[in-house]
Amino acid sequence: MTQFTKKDAEKELARRELARRNFTNFNRYVDEGYMSSWHTEVLCDALQRLEKKEIRWLIIEVPPRHGKSLHVSQRFPAWVVGRKPDTDVIVGSYSGDLASDHGRETRNLIQSREYQNVFNTRLAPDSSAKGKWNTQKKDEKGEWVNAKGAYNAAGVGGSITGKGADFFIIDDPFKDRKEADSQVIRETVWSWMRSVARTRLTPTGCMLILHTRWHEDDLIGRLVDGKETAEPWVDYFDYIKNGLGDAKWVRLQLKAIAEDDEEYRKKGEALWPDRYDLAELQDIKSTLGPYEFSALYQANPVDDASREFKREWFKYRTYDEVSKMTTRRFVTIDPNLKKSDQSDYCGVTRNYINSEGQWNLRSTRYRVNSKEVIDLIFLLHDEGFEKIGIEEGAFSYVVEPFLQEEMRKRGKFPNVIPLKHNQTMKETRIRGLIPWYAGHMVYHLEGDCTDLEEELLAFPKGSNDDCADATAYQLQFAEAPASARTQAMLQEQDSNRAAQIGQRLGL
């Protein structure tokens, strides 16, 4: 039999004290198999600040199966009433049953031995229903007495008459996309939040909203992005550095895959790689499709009504069909390269323009560094593209200093054209494609425009736009085939240009 030493006892008491003080340590104490990461610690820190009333209005956006409801709707209420047994908590969801299920998990946790080791709070014996219970606490004499604290579960649209809340948690007010797509249901949720949930808060009460993002006009969308309903908010990490300022809401948005460099991870990294690495997330994305994945996992919903590019505009041809046409070939590159030699996404759009002026596109994203861009230019030259357009900034920084030397070495002279954006915003350039698509002047080669279609359908809220921007640059110089005589003249001009370049390089 293992002997329990004084040192063991001191260690156990220290663990209990840490669990009382710190929400992350509380999770570790009550759950032996608890898996933590930087994002769960950030989540716990935000909840601690809510409990201390440093934050009163909090929005949390976390991907599915990343600990959202476990921390917020199940364990946080238990920790709150443990620290302050007189606390009133209301948890609302799309149905009273779901909210009650969260209440059952909280109730069971409070009844556990681990919880009782940490806190002098327990359920009142005469109220232990999963969706409605009260608390007891120990008085100065160490005797159990009724506390003022209570837990109540509520369904969206339901009545909470006579119930107050020090903390009102709204977790998943929409059951699924069908509900979120319904204007009637969105109005019901919005009205319930304003006229019922908010009115239940005590003078210093706190509200926390978290839900899967299904629609731009969902509850979170209205609060932070709505034209008439938006309230001032600040990003959680900016709040940590600079405080609330004039903001009311603090918004903690954790995307499954980072779209930019962040406080704790780099662009393209997974949120919780120990559970859902990039390969797993990409597999989920291929199953859901890019638009569902964008909404559920990237907190970036793009509904059909707000899409600027419509799926029905996409027309298709095979490469075999296009190869039998008389075409001119132009390629545009959006390399997205910096002066450093790090690999990043590079959008490449090949355009085969037929005699009717129709575009036939192959467009793909690659990860390339500066050397690989040079190799790509020569590859495209060998494929027969008469003009290779590349964004001017990247051309000046990355391509031009080495291109002439490589042309001398290889004896090849690709016709590279620096493309100017003329201070035009990227979104404006991409919107220039809309008349071409709407007018059925653009065809996608089957299987070769997946990246481009994903970007256009998510525009302007997508996480990538490299192919879309490369395609928009086609507007600067892409031309339909001319007559046979003019075509011969163009070929002669290209030959003369190559000879002139060779003379300048001493070849």
Q: Over the stretch 230-278, which tens digit does the pLDDT of each residue have?
A: 899 999 999 999 999 999 999 999 999 998 899 899 999 999 999 999 9
The confidence band for 162, taking pLDDT boundaries of 50, 70 and 90, is confident
pLDDT value of residue 344: 63
pLDDT value of residue 284: 93
Mean pLDDT of 290-299: 86
- Burial level of 62, CB count in 10 A (0-12/13-18/19+)? buried
- Answer whether residue 386 shows pLDDT above 80: yes
Q: Between 51 and 393, where is the model more confident?
A: 51
The structure tokens listed for 394 are 């990247």
Angstrom distance (rounded) from CA 81 to CA 192: 26
Q: How many CB atoms lie within 10 A of CB 112?
A: 13
Distance, first Cα to last Cα, the chain? 89
- CATH number, domain 20-304: 3.40.50.300
- Answer whether residue 169 shows pLDDT above 90: yes
Q: Between 190 and 288, where is the model more confident?
A: 190
Share of the chain above pLDDT 70, in %: 90
The mean pLDDT of the chain is 87
**pLDDT tens for each residue of 458-484:** 888 776 789 999 999 999 988 888 644
- Start-end of CATH 3.30.420 domains in the chain: 311-504
The CA–CA distances, whole Å, from 154 to 90, 316, 427 equal: 7, 50, 43
Mean pLDDT of 351-375: 90
- Answer whether residue 435 shows pLDDT above 60: yes
CB 357 within 8 A of CB 365: no
Fold assignment, 311-504: Nucleotidyltransferase; domain 5 (3.30.420)
CB 351 within 8 A of CB 473: no
Report which listed range, 312-316, 372-376, 389-393, is most confident: 312-316
pLDDT value of residue 80: 97
Amino acid at the residue 471: T
- Start-end of CATH 3.40.50.300 domains in the chain: 20-304
Q: What is the DSSP string of 208-247?
A: EEE-----TTSHHHHHHT-TTT---EEEHHHHHHH--TT-
- Answer whether residue 501 shows pLDDT above 70: no
pLDDT value of residue 341: 47
- Answer whether residue 373 shows pLDDT above 90: no
The confidence band for 405, taking pLDDT boundaries of 50, 70 and 90, is confident
Report which listed range, 94-103, 353-362, 472-481, is most confident: 353-362
pLDDT value of residue 496: 60
pLDDT value of residue 120: 93
pLDDT value of residue 1: 52
The confidence band for 337, taking pLDDT boundaries of 50, 70 and 90, is low
Share of the chain above pLDDT 90, in %: 57
Angstrom distance (rounded) from CA 453 to CA 437: 12
pLDDT value of residue 348: 95
- Answer whether residue 485 shows pLDDT above 50: no
pLDDT value of residue 153: 85
Which residues, 6+ apart, have CB-to-CB distance to 242 below 8 Å? 234
